[in-house]
Structure 1
Amino acid sequence: MGPFRTFLNRTVVPRSLFTRSLLIVVLPVVVLQVVLTVIFYNRHWDTVTRWLATGVAGEVALTAQLLGEQHDLAGRDQVMEQVRKFTDLRMSFEPGGTLEAAARDADLADPVRGHIDEKILEAFQESLRQPFLLDLRSDVPQRIAVYVQLPDGLLRVLAPRKRVTSTTTGLLLAWMLGVSTALLLVAIYFLRLQIRPIRKLARAMESFGKGRDIGDYRPQGAQEIRQAAHAFNLMRQRILRHLGQRTEMLAAVSHDLRTPLTRMKLELELLDSTEKPVLAELREDVEEMAQIIESYLSFARGEGREGIEPVALRPLLENMRERGERAGAAVELRDGEEILLPARPVALRRCLANLVDNAARHGRSIALGARRRGRHVEITVEDDGPGIPKGQREAVFRPFVRLDQSRSRATGGVGLGLTIARDVALGHGGDLRLDQSAQGGLKAIIRLPL
């Protein structure tokens, strides 16, 4: 049952809420109309047609019998006049006429009949004993023609079509289809009114997920949608409050830690390091502690509350090339189109700087590039360094994780560069992943939404 349900959900059931809701409205109406139409055609219309056709066939049979009992033209004319007087049948008698000649003249050699025409023919076959021919395609509008073979001639009867079948069926079906179409249009209109607030709420959530705060969302639509919008506003306020509290706490931590570190540096400078060589190592430890604290604060602050604005990637990549060259690497800037990316400029610069610094530290050649990928932009930073094993590429994004187990400052930083870079990418609604570079080293791919 599980695979079958999965197949239905993927291939049969529509994916959008609007289409599913419309299907819920349309399917019962269509099924109801199909059932009513089948019942009406097979039961009601067939029964009414049979009753009406049987009545007309009885009148024609009675007329044919009365004419057969008359042997002179005057008597036959009198019978036909009485029938015309009391019925709406129109008839004529052709002495010596035959059914073969009538069929040939009316082109009834191989008539094409529908379901209702067959019901009319069956009713005439049950009531009329003489040989006859039924022309349901008469040239006379809204009439049918019946040819009855008598011993000395041919009787031609014209009957109104409404006498043998219901003529309001088409009108009824037209009303059913018209009303259903009108109700469907009304349903589509109200469904759009209900779907619109959901789409607006989804866009607001998407923007907030990309780091583009649009303020409180104004609840709209049905009560359930308003409840979801209210919950989103509360979640947004909690997240912003958490970020604000974290920033304030880190500012206090920064102040509290930097003060004793500065005092320790001054005291170490006042001591005579020539007499106590261990003081030089102590100074290095203090500098390393200060660097670790600054790196941690930079990671924890992230992009802060910096505003989103259009950023031209080409000048930013030019700046990163100069940064890499200053670090002693050969940097290649691959040609690409001009791209304006909505982003936080300082945070995006910090992200790219960490990646370029990491590439320059481990390689001698760097390649930078940016290109569009649908509704996203991919920025790549490649190097020819030793790279990172595939099984460890995800682990290096964790804070303070370094592949160099010696933890020496000479071989790298404190293990927050890639963490900060991914944090910035995620804060923009994108991601950062690592892959194998064509140069043999590491390839960092930043994917950000336009």
Structure 2
Amino acid sequence: MARFTFRLPDIGEGISEAEIVAWHVRVGERVEEDMPVADMMTDKATVEMESPVSGVVVELAGEVGDQVAIGSALMIVETDAEEGAVSEEVEEQIEAENPGVEEAILPGTGGTADEVGGGGGEPQAVRPEERPLHQPSAGPPPRAGEDKVLASPAVRARARDLGIDLASIRAESDRLRHSDLDAYLRYGQAQGYHAPHANRARPDEAVKVIGMRRRIAENMAASKRAIPHFAYVEEIDVTALEAMRADLNDNRGARPKLTMLPLMIVAICRAIPDFPMINARYDDEAGVVTRHGSVHLGMATQTDAGLMVPVIRDAQDRNVWQLASEIGRLAEAARSGKAKSEELSGSTLTITSLGPLGGIATTPVINRPEVAIIGPNKIVERPIFQGDEIVRAKLMNLSISCDHRVVDGWDAASYVQALKKLLETPVLLFAD
């Protein structure tokens, strides 16, 4: 028998560590080569790690929510081969991908492996495979049928922590979500989905802030600490725009159905050349504002794991039908966890909408290091005056939050007024 140490490889994003968001194996279980063993989250995306060898899991490098340094041990597997027969080839491959692993900082020491020794003699180098790994408490193994349930890694991890069989939960859609798990917990595992007693309180639940939720918390806190936000809200009459959208959809043929979002993106891009300070990123440490020529539009998208921002590259070069297709593709990739890291980074301006939830007005938080974020709100029908007549109109409030270090209030208001003109006279969206 031989022990093989699987070290966390460089995922290719220039990161130094990654967070464990889900384990797919437990100590004592057998893994096969190329079998998924863990989901690791970086600043940009969640990456599925696969075992390079077959064998029995001996140790795991922590619990969900822990950080693991690149090049350090993620899992130790006891293989079926003789000592060195399997691990030597794989170890050489891992070492080639992760040079300098032997000098990795050891937890709790403050020094490198070569600096940590014992007694008064020569410091003794400690190889990563010799370090004791954390062994999480053994829990119930995955139950039969769980692997057939569609659910995100976060939902699976939460269900495992609670000892709940995913196959026993009824989902409201084709994918099991946190809300389905909440309903199961609330209404009782044995009693099924019955309405709870009116005065029955739910038990307290301590939810560890990990994975995407922790990234969101850190990013939002940093944005609010560093950026002096200000907001501006304007009311826009979208009656003509909605009528044009209906006409376009009636004549779309095989093209995707248009929502309001593609039309708004066209307006955002058409107005940007006169207001370059809006489509910018601010490096406050270097003291440099980069005004971008292309609009790489971030699209805030709600997922089971939290808010993600896939990016529409070169939005200014796409027509409404191309934008509609790209919006659908990116939203699905984000919600299914299949969005690539390059699709989740590099935005120069962000748009966020609560969709059917609407809202009268929003003051969204800027997606740092960008300097502005735009938030369309719900469309309502109200009577308005047109001269001496009262007519029915479809009205929408449009919000913008800006970084006051970079964008002046006059510029933000002027930009929104330019958007207002385009949206209220939609023929201008297609006029050269």
Normalising by the residue count of structure 1, what TM-score does the alignment of the two structures yield? 0.19
Larger RCO (CA under 8 A, 6+ residues apart): 2
Report which of the two has the higher share of strand. Answer: 2
**Structure number with bigger Rg:** 1
Normalising by the residue count of structure 2, what TM-score does the alignment of the two structures yield? 0.20
